[in-house]
A and B are shown apart, each in its own frame.
Chain A
């Protein structure tokens, strides 16, 4: 307990780092994933803009990256990170790796939720003379909004999980804090304090996600 009191400053700093990493990742990875998910949905056979080449390539790319465990992924993309954002270590490099990994997972979740939109509703919009881009923007996304919000909530929790290995490349955060000051110093109270705060974050995120989804579904 004393150890935790001594580490108060580090604890709150780590909490801030986790929130920062996760929220920026959700923003960047969320946008990139939404785009990829839309492309997957729209280019599949019989959809709004069928294009076998784009669909197959994107599908393979996503299937290639998605199963890589994040602890390996974060190290593997270091060269790419140096190329694009100029550094392979630190919190921004973590955000880069997290966003990339999250975007592939989000692409799948977006695609899965969009295919549940009734083909009849899309046909109705087509019968009114609406074009494919307009249908994606004004029909497909709004019709799938409730499940999409729940999908993003699910991904938020997964990003919190992935962010725990940020310490590997000097990213900080609650996961790193728990390992460094809890696990390695034999201070279970410190470990559990970090765990509890992560649980609180997840609970709040799930509560907000459920609320927003309910508003979108009007239930």
Chain B
């Protein structure tokens, strides 16, 4: 049984009784998140990712469909009952949302007070959490005295305080520089491996998915257009709109504009060859071209690494006898995917 299960979930604004233009933020989404997953949800801004994550901890009620957390249906339950559900789900935010009037220690202690922990246990737990995120010496500092990375580490400590089984990260690194992003992602990875916390990561950045996610769902226009194993989704997207999205976040596939420049700048026929997890030996491919008596130039490309598995796309300009080029393309096509773009 999945830890988080969304069944045909729909969210529309505003609620029908208030009138006004109806906006469908989430459109019939079904997802299963297993315990221990780091589940990435990626998409352009406005795709509905942030709304989706707020349905999981019921900060927003669903308009239709059901949300099942650890076997318990939570949609339609009264607010009072939802509060205890939320105690078991931590959340971190793009803008950190720390309590500015409270120091670091009291920020982390807050959810424990809400949960009604006794004083001595709160003190021990807060110290333990601050040690975990490496901010013990900042306990008496206020949020405005911290750097962005430190703020998010406090956010993580605070979100984990009540020992939740699920952590929701809403664009948690989008306000951070690349170096600090890596630092926070490493921390999230530790949260997953050391405490076994299931993490749902909302992001528009491929790097985030690439570094920590095990599963991914691609969202567009309120729908999940593709989901599955991160490597599969990004190396071999199944439908047109996810391919379009993937090509914008993956290195190696020229955009239409870039392609136009390539076509203008290079003579010969231009082909893109995809490599995926060692399905074709690059050296063998190049040898094939040379043996056919065709000259080639590498004009665009990139190789990606997702959890130790590589895939990529190389775009070549081929020059030579047309029939020789045709023959080479057919032979390469037997071992991997080739598309001619001119």
Contacts and interface: CB of A to CB of B under 8 A. Distances in A.
Interface of A: 118, 120-121, 123-131, 134, 138-139, 142-143, 145, 216, 218
A125 B110 contact: yes
A118 B110 CA distance: 17
B100 A127 contact: no
Contact of A129 (B84, B93, B97, B168): B84
B333 interface: no
B50 to A, nearest CB: 11
B99 A139 contact: yes
B101 A127 contact: no
A130 B115 CA distance: 8
Given A121-B99, A128-B87, A129-B83, A134 B114 contact: yes
Given A118-B97, A123-B59, A131-B83, 14 more contacts: A121-B99, A123-B97, A124-B98, A125-B99, A125-B110, A125-B114, A126-B59, A128-B87, A128-B111, A128-B162, A129-B83, A129-B85, A130-B83, A130-B110
Interface in B48-94: 57, 59, 80, 83-87, 89-91, 93
A124 B97 contact: yes
B86 A128 contact: yes
A121 B97 contact: yes
Contacts of A123: 59, 93, 97
B210 interface: no
B7 interface: no
B91 A142 contact: no
B57 A142 contact: no
B245 interface: no
Interface string B95-130: 101111110000000110011000000000000000
A216 B101 CA distance: 8
User: Which 3 residue pairs across A and B have the least CB separation, nearest first?
Assistant: A124-B97, A128-B111, A142-B101
B300 interface: no
A134 B83 CA distance: 12
Contacts of B98: 121, 124
Contact of A218 (B83, B84, B95, B142): B142
A170 to B, nearest CB: 44
A126 B101 CA distance: 17
Given A126-B86, A130-B83, A130-B114, A145 B101 contact: yes
Is the contact region of chain A dominated by helix, strand, or loop, or is it mixed?
Answer: helix
Contacts of A125: 99, 110, 114
B88 to A, nearest CB: 9
Given A129-B86, A142-B101, A142-B102, A124 B142 contact: no
A127 B114 contact: no
Contacts of B100: 121, 143
Contact of B110 (A120, A128, A143, A216): A128
A143 B114 contact: no
Contacts of A120: 93, 95, 97
Nearest to B144: A218
Contacts of B115: 129
Interface in B163-209: 168
A113 B83 CA distance: 27
A127 B83 contact: no
A43 to B, nearest CB: 16
A127 B57 contact: yes
Contacts of B99: 121, 124-125, 139, 142-143
B83 A124 contact: no
B59 A127 contact: yes
